[in-house]
């Protein structure tokens, strides 16, 4: 069966049909593998959708601030950039009890399957649950037209968020469009939503074969594995996005920096060879790894990048996501640029690669140990360790591992001056909620990186019969413990059971690593080594406030 981007909904086929000619200022949506067709305002830019999304067809954000919204400052604008979102789902009747009721379905096997199921809706009531921060009020004179009012307080007094939604239905198919903006531009928002809704149609005939044939042709040689996964990712790309295939990865990007994308394709394969050498996987790591490179920091956050992050690996969406740092540097507003100038810091391609090397480790280790994550000190510590990798331009191989420019000064201040110091035992035992607490996350990251770097590079650790084996002991231990926990669960444990098994495996591996360990002596040696460690960037270290 030929691949399809999304399942066929009852009442219409997957591919789109040609719409009427778009009105001035609007453009016809180009994806012919989707469920509906429409035109959208050219002042908007399409964003990609997460691969586990089941309801949205397309999402757009406003490119620039119009005159009527000039009062909105940068912080508010970035918190909620005006957007339009097109949706479509099949309304299905609920299954009732009785002799003929269907047997309960088996739970999801993977986190991705769980997220896909969580994102599905089967009724209007299900769909409205997506708007937990909004109240919906239907217009009594225009059925299917809803105003959206923000719940609770809004900390910016200049303007308040507003929304507007239009719902349409054809048989069992429910579709439409909604948008968010500010009260200063409420009428304009309603015009946008109204025109998009007026031009929307369900697909009436299959025009997707040509689009699919173009993707099929890319993989006719049989050179790449997981061809179906690659086709699926390519068919879901937003307008303006491109993709680059490597042996083990598909790099989906919106960057104009072709040199950076080529470098990413080369370097990530080099890093993978190093990961495999140091951390042999339980079995073949044959699942396609997707790397998504956004054009700017703003686009990264609009796609779902967590606040105060430079990149992330999402095991549910099965994507590694970050952005083009050098291009972002060109787009910074004056206030932010001044802060970078004051700190004598400039964003470059090296920053993009640093994040790539870090997040690619998370992506690899997740599959290498059985599709769960090790302790955060190990995961983030090694991620930051690999972020210091130097890949040779001519050899295409990892030549050496240098210190992390993002962590070295924080941890030196921790160990030399006690600023934000976290005891080593607390770093090693911290679970996710503690490790990623925004108030201390930077210090946990720095502590974890420096501990791994210490064990890998210090003469003291290398000469110690116990310290020299700690990292390998933990890695081997967590794999073995996970196998033991799975063996207790029978032949087909569900996702929830496997998650519990992963937690137990981490705990057992850490206990084995810490057994009979002289923690005060280890901490003292680690602190002393960090203080004495050579700093390659002394001019960028700010003097601590007295």
Q: How far apart are CA 378 and CA 380, in angstroms?
A: 6
To the nearest 10 degrees (0 to 180), the angle between helices 376-386 and 470-487 is 130
Per DSSP, the three-state class of 485 is helix
DSSP at 156? -
The values of phi and psi at residue 417, to 5°, are: -115, -5
pLDDT of 438 = 93
Q: Which residues contact 198 (CB under 8 A, 6 or more apart)?
A: none
CB 499 within 8 A of CB 485: no
Instruction: Kindly tell me the sign of the dihedral angle through the C-alpha atoms of 464, 465, 469, 474.
Output: negative
The length of the chain in residues reads 546
pLDDT of 96 = 52
CB 295 within 8 A of CB 256: yes
Q: How far apart are CA 321 and CA 255, in angstroms?
A: 13
Q: How far apart are CA 175 and CA 30, in angstroms?
A: 18
Conformational region of residue 420, where left means phi above 0, alpha means psi within -120 to 50, and beta covers everything else = left
CB 235 within 8 A of CB 241: no
Q: How far apart are CA 253 and CA 319, in angstroms?
A: 12
Residue spans of the chain under pLDDT 70 = 1-20, 31-33, 93-106, 204-211, 546
Beta strands 249-253; 289-294: pairing state:
parallel
Q: How far apart are CA 294 and CA 487, in angstroms?
A: 41
Centroid of chain to Cα 314: 5
Conformational region of residue 385, where left means phi above 0, alpha means psi within -120 to 50, and beta covers everything else = alpha
**Which tens digits make up the pLDDT trace of 68-78?**
999 999 889 98
Q: How far apart are CA 480 and CA 161, in angstroms?
A: 51
> Any idea of the CA torsion for 501, 504, 505, 507, to the nearest 10 degrees?
160
CB 513 within 8 A of CB 128: no
Q: How far apart are CA 325 and CA 345, in angstroms?
A: 12
Q: H helices within 374-494, ranges in order?
A: 376-386, 408-417, 424-429, 432-435, 441-457, 459-463, 470-487
Centroid of chain to Cα 331: 22
pLDDT of 15 = 35
Q: Which residues contact 437 (CB under 8 A, 6 or more apart)?
A: 444
CB 322 within 8 A of CB 359: yes
pLDDT of 198 = 95
CB 7 within 8 A of CB 36: no
Nearest to 383 by CA among 409, 361, 407: 361
Burial (CB < 10 A; 0-12, 13-18, 19+), residue 72, is: buried
Domains in the chain (CATH in brackets) are 26-95+106-202 (3.40.1000), 401-546 (no CATH)
pLDDT of 208 = 56
pLDDT of 18 = 44
Centroid of chain to Cα 38: 28
Centroid of chain to Cα 245: 19
* 128 C-beta neighbours (distance < 10 Å), count: 15
Q: How far apart are CA 16 and CA 528, in angstroms?
A: 65
Instruction: DSSP for 11-47, please give it.
Output: TS-SS--PPSPPPTTEEE---TTSSEE-EEETTEEEE
Q: How far apart are CA 374 and CA 380, in angstroms?
A: 10
To the nearest 10 degrees (0 to 180), the angle between helices 376-386 and 258-278 is 130
Q: How far apart are CA 44 and CA 239, in angstroms?
A: 11
Q: Which residues of 496-508 are buried (b: 16+ CB within 10 A; e: fewer)?
A: ebbeebbeebbeb
- The model's pTM is 0.89
Instruction: Kindly tell me the sign of the dihedral angle through the C-alpha atoms of 9, 11, 13, 14.
Output: negative
**Which tens digits make up the pLDDT trace of 27-59?**
998 765 677 889 999 999 999 999 999 999 999
């Amino acid at each position: 069966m030929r691949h399809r981007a999304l399942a066929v909904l009852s009442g219409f086929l997957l591919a789109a049909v040609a719409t009427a000619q778009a009105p001035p200022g609007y453009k016809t949506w180009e994806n012919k593998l989707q469920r509906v067709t429409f035109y959208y305002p050219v002042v908007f830019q399409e964003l990609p959708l997460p691969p586990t999304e089941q309801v949205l067809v397309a999402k757009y954000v406003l490119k620039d601030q119009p005159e009527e919204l000039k009062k909105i400052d940068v912080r508010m604008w970035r918190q909620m950039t005006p957007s339009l979102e097109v949706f479509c789902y099949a309304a299905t009747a609920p299954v009732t009890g009785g002799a003929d009721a269907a047997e309960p379905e088996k739970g999801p096997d993977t986190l991705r399957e769980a997220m896909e199921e969580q994102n599905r809706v089967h009724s209007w009531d299900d769909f409205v649950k997506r708007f937990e921060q909004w109240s919906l009020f239907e217009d009594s004179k225009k059925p299917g037209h809803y105003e959206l009012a923000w719940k609770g307080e809004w900390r910016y007094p200049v303007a308040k968020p507003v929304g507007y939604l239009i719902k349409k239905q054809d048989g069992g198919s429910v579709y439409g469009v909604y948008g968010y903006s500010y009260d200063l531009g409420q009428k304009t928002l309603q015009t946008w939503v109204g025109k998009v809704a007026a031009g929307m149609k369900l697909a009436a005939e299959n025009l997707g074969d040509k689009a699919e044939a173009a993707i099929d042709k890319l993989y006719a040689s049989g050179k790449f594995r997981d061809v179906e996964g690659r086709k699926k990712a390519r068919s879901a790309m937003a307008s303006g996005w491109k993709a680059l295939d490597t042996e083990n990865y598909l790099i989906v990007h919106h960057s104009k920096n072709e040199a950076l994308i080529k470098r990413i394709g080369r370097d990530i394969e080099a890093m993978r060879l190093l990961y495999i050498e140091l951390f042999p996987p339980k079995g073949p790591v044959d699942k396609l790894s997707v790397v998504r490179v956004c054009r700017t920091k703003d686009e990264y956050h609009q796609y779902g990048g967590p606040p105060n992050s430079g990149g992330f690996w999402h095991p549910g969406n099965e994507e590694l996501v970050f952005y083009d740092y050098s291009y972002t540097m060109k787009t910074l507003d004056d206030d932010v640029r001044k802060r970078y100038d004051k700190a004598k810091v400039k964003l470059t391609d090296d920053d993009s690669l640093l994040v790539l090397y870090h997040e690619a480790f998370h992506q690899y280790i997740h599959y290498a140990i059985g599709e769960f994550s090790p302790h955060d000190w190990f995961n983030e510590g090694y991620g930051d360790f690999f972020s210091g990798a130097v890949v040779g331009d001519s050899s295409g191989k990892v030549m050496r591992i240098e210190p992390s420019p993002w962590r070295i000064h924080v941890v030196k201040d921790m160990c030399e001056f006690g600023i934000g110091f976290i005891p080593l035992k607390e770093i090693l035992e911290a679970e996710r909620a503690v490790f990623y607490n925004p108030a201390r996350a930077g210090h946990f990251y720095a502590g974890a990186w420096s501990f791994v770097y210490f064990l890998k590079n210090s003469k003291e650790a290398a000469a110690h019969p116990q310290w020299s084996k700690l990292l390998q002991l933990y890695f081997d231990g967590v794999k073995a413990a996970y196998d033991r926990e799975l063996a207790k669960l029978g032949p087909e444990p569900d996702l929830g059971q496997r998650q519990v098994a992963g937690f137990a495996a981490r705990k057992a591996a850490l206990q084995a690593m810490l057994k009979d360990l002289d923690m005060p002596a280890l901490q003292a040696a680690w602190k002393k080594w960090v203080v004495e460690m050579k700093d390659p960037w002394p001019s960028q270290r700010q003097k601590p406030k007295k």
